[in-house]
Amino acid sequence: MIFPCIDLMDGKVVQLIQGREKALEADSPEEMLERFAAFPEIQVIDLDAAMGRGSNDEVVRMLASAAAIRAGGGVRTPERAQALVEQGARNVIVGTAAFTKTGINEPLLAEMRDTIGRDRLLVAVDSKEGRIVVKGWQEATSLTAEAVLRSLEPYCSGFLCTYVDKEGMMQGTDLDWFRRLRAATSLELTAAGGVTTLEDVRALLAMNVHAAVGMAVYTGRIRLEDLAALLPNG
């Protein structure tokens, strides 16, 4: 599966570098929906909610009403997860709240799983310099992605794993890291961060890893027609 990404900030579609610097503003959310119409599902991240400075709930609701989406950003409570499901999200992505400084936030994950169902819950496992990072990738934990995936399996149906070191930099990604993650879990795995070329996407799909593609699409490095051709019915 290939997931085009819509990242929202102040009601607009944006792309950030390393989760900090805004690299570009894209067409409106409605226009991006049209551009991504060939893809079965879209990944939507509310950056304002993730950074704790508001939300783009109305835009998320509009997107969810018009397309199949997986939604994340600021999912810190079961109530927030449930709200996204009620807005129409097919899957909900939880990141920062899934972890403590030293381990997994098992009570919260269990509550989220019991609220929306394990099949709807995805855990974002974002790594920078070998460690899982949280709070908009600004704070490092003592954990590694490879070490925690198995322990997270009882709570979710899959993982969104971002290689933050290359996020938005158009320099390629670390395929070896994703290969190690693929060996660490039997659940669905989606790769993000530095997915720059069609060759990157093909390599991920060949190892049974989904690809979430953002900057490469928005800058034209990867043409949507070529990406769509890699879909099972492409």
Measured CA to CA, the distance from residue 43 to residue 27 in angstroms comes to 16
* Residue of 46, 119, 126, 200 marked active site: 126
Q: Is 165 a catalytic residue?
A: no
Q: In the chain, which ranges are E strands?
A: 2-9, 12-17, 21-25, 42-46, 69-72, 91-94, 121-128, 131-134, 139-140, 158-163, 188-192, 210-213
Q: Is 114 a catalytic residue?
A: no
CA 135 vs. chain centroid, Å, equals 14
Measured CA to CA, the distance from residue 183 to residue 222 in angstroms comes to 28
CA angle 225, 215, 63 (to 5 degrees): 75
* Residue of 7, 57, 119, 174 marked active site: 7
Catalytic residues: 7, 126
